[in-house]
Amino acid sequence: GDSVTQMEGPVTLSEEACLTINCTYTATGYPSLFWYVQYPGEGLQLLLKATKADDKGSNKGFEATYRKETTSFHLEKGSVQVSDSAVYFCALPLYNQGGKLIFGQGTELSVKP
Amino acid sequence: EAEVAQSPRYKITEKSQAVAFWCDPISGHATLYWYRQILGQGPELLVQFQDESVVDDSQLPKDRFSAERLKGVDSTLKIQPAELGDSAMYLCASSFGGVTEAFFGQGTRLTVV
């Protein structure tokens, strides 16, 4: 069945370090892919999305490229800030189930000054 | 900017009591989702509405949980009786449908004591 696998956390980085959070998926067809971010005690916010192969989603300095050949959608940022500390979720909407989202387990990022 | 509204933000209830959560989706969004997020995990779908109809409640514990969206706009999720294992974040989300991105509310943090 369809699934999403994220790298496990927590990830601790110093400010201005580079970030990569790995996400791979298993799905039928060519789904859209999303990254959501959750700040402590809050709901999820859509960070970026890609709707087809080779699309690059970007927002707030974060980027992710939809790689069909490796079924991956890794999240990257060149220089993290303390304010980026949050939990990041990779998500896959299911075409045949009304857009129901399947989430990865989440990766907690902590950025130290 | 349009938002998904949820209330209450926090709820503490005793085991065996009834509890209810309310969600008002973004105007025009036909699809409404209720997700449950256990601490340290990704959200999991409880129930999905298309307008006023339930399209997926396969993971809803129907012996104690109920959900309604009577006029196809706002929605209520109820638990009766609450159990200790129901302690979690309850997230409401809405979308235009299909595989378009879902927008989440801030969630209700439920603690059952």
CA gap A85, A93 in Å, rounded: 25
Distances (CA, A) of A34 to A50, A73, A104, A109: 7, 9, 11, 18
d(CA B104, CA B110): 17
Q: Could you report the per-residue pLDDT of A24-59, keeping only the tens digit for each?
A: 999 887 789 999 999 988 889 999 999 988 999 999
Would an 8 Å CB–CB cutoff place A66 in contact with chain B? no
Six-digit token pair at A45? 């916010």
Give the chain A residue whose CA is nearest to the CA of B3: A45
The predicted pLDDT at position A29 comes to 77
- Please give the backbone phi and psi of residue A38, each rounded to the nearest 5 degrees, phi first: -125, 115
| pLDDT tens track for B20-40 | 999 999 999 999 999 999 988
pLDDT digit string, tens, across residues B57-81: 999 999 999 999 988 899 999 999 9
pLDDT the model gives residue A28: 81
- Distant-in-sequence, close-in-space partners of A81: CB < 8 Å, separation ≥ 6: A15, A16, A111
Q: What is the pLDDT of residue A9?
A: 83
Measure the CA–CA gap between B104 and A45, rounded to whole angstroms. Answer: 7
Least CA distance to A32: which residue of chain B? B99
How many interchain CB pairs under 8 A, A with B? 66
Contact yes or no for A43 and B107 at CB 8 A: yes
Percent pLDDT > 90 in chain A is 75
State the pLDDT at residue A20: 97
